[in-house]
Amino acid sequence: MNVNEWQSKIELLDEKIKKNIFDSTGDSLPISDGIVDVDKYLSAKYKILWIMKEANDPNYHEEYDHKRGGWDMRKFMLNVTEYDNWKRTYEPIIQSTYGINNNGCDWDDVPDMNDQNKNEMVSLLHQIAFINIKKLPGLASSWWETINDAYQKHKEIILEQIEVINPEIIIGGGTLPFLCQDLNLPADELECNGSYFTKSRVYLDVYHPNQRKITHKAYYENIIEPVKYWINNYR
């Protein structure tokens, strides 16, 4: 599939999301997501997809008649440093992407996100894909019942997104339990190990990147070590 064919499939999916996912109260609009930059995704060393629960959108936006949502996660990530507190969620994603691209390098070899390295490091977000299970905007906390309800209602769209994106590495921020049955993943093994391997793909279930339970180093290693194992033993 060439870039134009891929882009056409993405545009059809965007239209499907806008048409089929709506807020019955009329207070919000769906948030588009997917491959941040198709050209860079296709040329990346590994095709990485992050699956999260929902976008935190506490504000109403004038351009959308005071409705929440209605924006594009991909455009947000192309200009992520323009937004306050971007590092809380995206710095761990950037660090793990760097490590995956650099042969699973040690944590100490990951560059700091200082002024000298920031632009180059942040640009790593452009080569990944990022989707939310719940396409309507959320707040700071996500409720299991809410996310599960969104998945059950719109699972066909989520699964079609995964099929079109066709990643080699899927990283779920506490989301893979929602998809286990439909992706034919052994839930017990995933829960026990936090990872599952096939010849063509590795699945990782980790905390949300903006977590406070473990260090950034431990979070990084929870991603890098299984990926290295998959590369050396399966791929």
What pLDDT shows up at residue 140? Answer: 61
**DSSP 8-state symbol, 67:** B
Q: Is 135 exposed, middle or buried (0-12, 13-18, 19+ CB in 10 A)?
A: buried
Cβ-proximal residues to 96 (8 Å cutoff; 6+ apart), any chain: 171, 219, 220, 223, 224
> What are the chain's domains?
3-233 (3.40.470.10)
On the CB side of 130, how many CA atoms lie within 13 Å of its CA? 26
pTM: 0.94
Among the residue ranges 6-20, 60-74, 162-176, the one predicted with the least confidence is 60-74
Tell me, what's the pLDDT at 114?
A: 83
pLDDT-based confidence at residue 176 (cuts at 50, 70, 90): very high
Q: What is the DSSP string of 176-214?
A: HHHHTTTTT--HHHHHHHSEEE-SS-EEEEE--SS-SSS
For the segment 25-45, what is each residue's pLDDT rounded down to a tens digit? Answer: 888 899 999 999 999 999 999
Contact 171, 52 (CB under 8 A): no
Q: How far apart are CA 214 and CA 184, in angstroms?
A: 29
Residue 4 vs residue 104, higher pLDDT: 104
Nearest Cα to Cα of residue 139 among 43, 28, 229: 28
pLDDT surpasses 80 at 12: yes
Residue 170 DSSP SS3: strand
Instruction: Return d(Cα 37, Cα 75) in angstroms, integer.
Output: 9
Does the structure show a pLDDT above 60 at 65? no
User: pLDDT tens-digit profile of 89-105?
Assistant: 999 999 999 999 999 99
Residue 141 has pLDDT above 80, yes or no: no
Is the CB of residue 196 less than 8 Å from the CB of residue 190?
A: yes
